Amino acid sequence: MGLYVLLGRGWPWREVWGLAVHRYRGSQHVGLRNIIGTLALTVALHRQPSIGHAWEEDRSDRLLETIRNGAHLHRTVAQNRWCVTLADLQQFKRLVFQAVRKGVIKPTERDQFLASDTRVGPSVYTVVDQFVKPMTRAAGNVSWALMKHPEGLLCDVFITHAWAEGIYEFVDKVTQSWPRGATAAYVCFLSYPQNLDISDLIQSPRESPFARALGSSRLVIAVPNHVCSIYSYIWCVYEAFLAFIWDKRIRAAKSPVVGWLSMLRVSCTAFATLGACILILMSQATYYGFTADFVHLVRQIRLVSIILSALCGVCIMVFFALGKHAWISCQIAILVFAVVVEMFVAADLCLNGATDPPVICVLLLSILACGAVEGDRRQSEETCRQTQELRRGFAGTVGASEKIHAFSSSPSDLQNILAEIEGHASVNAVDKVVDTLLALGLSGKELRRVTEHVGPLGNVSVWSKALFVASSGLICFQCFQVYRYRILIDTSTLHYILLGVALLEAILWPVIFLLLPVERKTFAARCLPLLLLLSPGFVGLWGCFPYDATAHFGVIPVILLITLLGPARIAQIPVLGPAAVRLVFARRPWRTKGSGTSFEATTVPMPGV
């Protein structure tokens, strides 16, 4: 069955039920398909990523067909237009890969990279010295950005990084974090003319090409690496400082997570368990008949699977709360959770049949939710790695001269930047801004205001796919329940109003959620446990009209309202607001003080272009 899913052929219902009822001897073939599918996905998860062959436009003679006057070009093209596109970055990665294969880029004493490695690659230092400088020198001492686009491209994304990361790692992280609708990005080692002396352009940090590009951007992407914190470099600190005083949004870049393969592997495991349980139960029913003893046995299996599912769910939540996403125990708990959940679904199918809509809803939700939980684990694992990379070697940046830990290859640059930062009214908040980015994975005016009101919240750059899938399915299921048990029984006006509200909520919830910025998605997802208030109806303890009215005129509208307001507005509600936000993010609700730091930036004009 896993192989069927891999090939996109869907779920072989006819084969499963045919084997279960009439041809039990063919069950080993179904099990073999599941094993092949799971093994194929496991191999795909652990293989080295492929970079691919060079394209026609990647040939060096195509890149160097026009020799330009680099000095003249960089004096006439606006500095905030020295930018490259995402396609340029991906082409650059292919070119570097080909240069490594041909021996043009070689390991050095400082950078002992492996030529066979396609995940990290040579460092930016090595690539600049052995590849960018020779290529751009042959093109007329122009930067890579203006070699590709001599007229320039207006910057709308600014990339801040430390040059210590591997080039493949860098391009992959930028690609993964590239904002929707963005056109061009300022990448210093590609935007700066490496063979020209333009030191006069950076004598004043505020008037440097870096500052001008950052002033034009709408987003700053901070790219962490496995070597050191980017905020141990003074230019990265200065870029964070400018992003703060100009109210620019900062996002920490993440590595691409091959989450869908891992999610599909868990779903294949769930499919395998479901198929095996159905085959075993139906074969026993075919042989012994649907006796009272058999029904009692199936009900016992269903009860045991419910208990085991709850225990596995608690274990998974504990692992997630402790940040132990990479532990093998957490991965095993998720696989066991998928197995026992499908045991429950198989028992439910045998008792109620495959035509009962609630059973089908539970079946689909279980498959999707099991895969989504694994997706959450992989995403959280990457977030923990990202935070560790940003913190590695970071011990504060500015504040007072005796506490400076950032460095620069140019002593004059260090002095000029420190003079400007330390002379600014917001100097004491710069470290706090960096701390916010390290803790939350994002930094922006709204998030800083939330942190000021409620204190630290943990990383808000990820949201739970499992909660979103489960909530969307439950809201749609609740809508169906209204139609089935209200409209089909009593076609009163009140019931039609209830159905209209239920349909509207089922449509609005996923649309609103998916259009939110990521930090609001995280907040909205953490509010979804409010749906547990409706659990009595899902297990059949309470299902009358007052229950449906409570769900669609009370619980679900409250969740939608909280989602629309966001954490910043809710935190401004006196007394209860900050406590509610802290509670949603699993923090101690009642505190005597906020974060204690004001994040109001002093208005500073951006440099002219």
* Residue 74 near residue 141, CB atoms below 8 Å: no
Which of 43, 197, 37, 70 minimizes the C-alpha distance to 136?
A: 70
77 pLDDT higher than 70: yes
| 270: confidence class by pLDDT, cuts 50, 70, 90 | confident
pLDDT in tens, 191-200: 989 888 777 7
Concatenated DSSP letters of 527-555: TGGGGGGGHHHHTTS--SHHHHHHIIIII
Domain ranges of the chain: 1-47+258-393, 57-201, 472-593
CA 600/CA 595 separation, integer angstroms: 13
**Whole-number Å distance between alpha carbons of 65 and 45:** 41
Using pLDDT thresholds of 50, 70 and 90, give the confidence band for residue 92: very high
Angle of helix 556-571 versus helix 493-515 axis, rounded to 10: 40
3-state SS record for 488-502: CCCCCHHHHHHHHHH
If DSSP codes are grouped into helix, strand and coil, which group holds residue 572?
Answer: coil
pLDDT digits (tens, 9 = 90+) for 237-261: 888 888 888 888 888 888 776 566 7
Task: Please tell me the pTM assigned to this model.
Answer: 0.72
DSSP bridge pairs for 185 = 84, 157
Q: Does position 19 have pLDDT exceeding 60, yes or no? A: no
Tokens 């500015």 belong to residue: 398
- Tell me what the pLDDT averaged over the chain comes to: 77
The β-bridge relationship of strands 185-187 and 219-222 is unpaired
Average pLDDT over residues 457-478: 78
Q: pLDDT of 469-525, one tens digit each? A: 888 888 888 888 788 777 777 778 888 888 899 999 989 988 988 888 877 888 888
Residue 511 has which token pair?
Answer: 């649309």
Nearest to 367 by CA among 454, 272, 277: 272
Report the pLDDT value the prediction gives residue 484, as an integer from 0 to 100. Answer: 78
Is the pLDDT higher at 392 or at 213? 213
The winner for highest mean pLDDT among 25-34, 76-85, 479-488, 559-568 is: 76-85
CB-based contact 574:594 (threshold 8 Å): no
Q: Please indicate whether residue 371 or residue 214 has the higher confidence score (pLDDT).
A: 214
For residue range 536-589, list pLDDT tens digits in order.
Answer: 766 556 767 788 888 889 888 988 888 888 888 888 888 788 888 877 776 776
Query: Sorting pLDDT into bands at 50, 70 and 90, what band is 383?
Result: confident
